[in-house]
Amino acid sequence: MVLNKFDCSLGEVKFQGCICNASGPRCTELDQLTKIDNSKSCMVLSKSATPKMREGNKKPRYWDHDLGSINSMGLPNNGIQYYVAIASQISGPYFISISGGSLEENCEMIDQIMACNSKIDGIEINLSCPNIIGKGQLAYDFEKLGNYLDGIIECLDVRGLEKAIGVKLPPYFDMWQFEVVAKILMKYPIDFITCVNSIGNGLIIDIDTETTLIKPKGGFGGIGGSYIKPTGLANVRKFYEIFQENGSKIKIIGCGGIETGKDVFEYILCGAELVQIGTQFYKENTKCFSRLENELSEIMERKGYSDLNQFRGKLKRR
Ligand code: DHB
């Protein structure tokens, strides 16, 4: 295989490109996943799956805004069997996102993925969905997080770890939180973390009608898009610094508010191995992947970089 300047990897899985879809918009149905497969996205990542299909929360549950988006989808998805069954129809690297309501549900889904004979290259375990009515975000419960990962690793270990395994994290905001979470994560043989999920339980309001934009949970929902880029960058940077200081090999997928090639460059400069696109992919569809790659390429050429390793993580301090 010819080396491409955007090549990167997670565990044993190699990617020809560094930009892909985030689990969220436009990745629930096979035809949507096929469109991603036929685009410049470097992987195909499914909508977060649950053991059984779910309709999700009441509509309207997603709203676009100039500065980003708010959603409270409530995990509408076709159920894990569907995402396992379609693996044979996807040619590029295929990752399944899982978001079980309990450790047992996640292990049940991991077993189904591991038992599949078709190629499934990785699992992104979502520990940070903010939109399940009556449930908190597991990755904010630092006491439960370690036990939870113990359980996940135990069920993965049974069949070996040939796939790339990672966890999707919510944004953290205080410096001690990064230290505590990184210390827990570094105990486990995970290949990557994805930083960040939407900022949970934000509120966007329409002043003309004096109404919330979305219906579920009294209008509270996950915030994505430009609103959250500084938070995403900070999470990638802080985890990168801690992993470097400790010699950890955990890689970081950057996510949050990427709209241009400059944003991609910034995430990689902070230490991201690759990046995911959520809100902008919703707005622009699959052509965002080639546009972003072209814009990143132009910046790299201007700066004289011929591959990502020449600047990845090399953010300078003033
Ligand atoms: C949903 C939202 C998330 O932020 C997430 O990580 C998983 C699912 C949702 O509401 O469907």
Catalytic residue among 20, 42, 129, 195, which?
A: 129
pLDDT value of residue 48: 98
The dihedral region occupied by 53, where left means phi > 0, alpha psi between -120 and 50, and beta the remainder, is beta
Q: Where are the alpha helices (DSSP H) in the chain?
A: 30-37, 80-85, 103-114, 142-157, 175-185, 229-245, 261-270, 279-284, 287-303
Ligand 1 probe mutation, 99, 140, 193, most atoms within 8 A of CB: 99
> Is this model's pTM higher than 0.95 or not?
yes
Question: How far apart are the C-alpha atoms of 281 and 289, rounded to whole Å?
Answer: 8
Question: How far apart are the C-alpha atoms of 103 and 167, rounded to whole Å?
Answer: 13
Catalytic residue among 128, 195, 255, 288, which?
A: 128
Q: Is the dihedral of CA 110, 112, 117, 123 positive or negative?
A: negative
| pLDDT single digits (tens) 11-20 | 999 999 999 9
Q: Which residues contact 184 (CB under 8 A, 6 or more apart)?
A: 142, 145, 146, 149
The Å distance, Cα 73 to ligand 1 centre, comes to 6
Average pLDDT of the chain, as a whole number? 96
For residue 128, indicate whether it is catalytic.
yes
129 lines ligand 1 (CB under 6 A): yes
pLDDT value of residue 69: 97
- Ligand 1 atom with the shortest distance to the CA of 56: 11
pLDDT value of residue 162: 79
Closest residue to atom 3 of ligand 1, CA basis: 129
198 lines ligand 1 (CB under 6 A): yes
- Ligand 1 atom with the shortest distance to the CA of 132: 10
Whether residue 252 is predicted with pLDDT greater than 90 in this model: the reply is yes
Q: Which residues contact 315 (CB under 8 A, 6 or more apart)?
A: 237, 269, 270, 271
Whether residue 257 is predicted with pLDDT greater than 90 in this model: the reply is yes
For residue 23, indicate whether it is catalytic.
no
| pLDDT single digits (tens) 161-210 | 679 999 999 999 999 999 999 999 999 999 999 999 999 999 999 999 99
